[in-house]
Amino acid sequence: MPYVCRSRFRVRYAETDQMGMVYYANYFVWMEVGRSDFCRECGFSYRDLEREKQAYLSVAEANCRYLAPARYDDEILVETTLSRVKSRIIEFSYQIKTGDTVLAEGRTVHVVIGADGRPRSLPQPYRELLKSKT
């Protein structure tokens, strides 16, 4: 069974729209919170990867399927799993919930690039840290 990273926080008022529901683009921000937490739980931060190895995880594809609305002050749980890790491609999957209600399901695909913007391999130590959670 794949490792699941769990991130918890509450919906902030600024994240809601005129109808009082969370604005759709904020779900992608929450996915980023889940990804960052996942990497930290693996033993590294995005910042370390960028500063130490000049390797960047560029988003190549992102999707989200909205199932129910979230509202101000709801407690949010983002469950992040690693779906795929290859030398140049990393894929994460997300389930965003409040209580027992699944609000959204999403996925992001990342291409590892160097400071020059060209694809490169994910440095081996980082790849091993990620694979340890699959």
Query: Do residues 81 and 3 lie in contact, with contact meaning Cβ atoms separated by under 8 Å?
Result: yes
Residues in the chain, overall count: 134
SS3 content of the chain, % helix, strand, coil (to 5): 25, 45, 30
| Per annotation, catalytic residue among 17, 48, 73, 74 | 17
In sequence order, what are the beta bridge partners of 105? 65, 95
Torsion of CA 120, 122, 7, 81, to 10 degrees: 100
Partnered with residue 15 across adjacent β-strands are none
Q: Is 48 marked active-site? A: no
H or E segment and range at residue 36: helix 26-42
Active site residues: 17
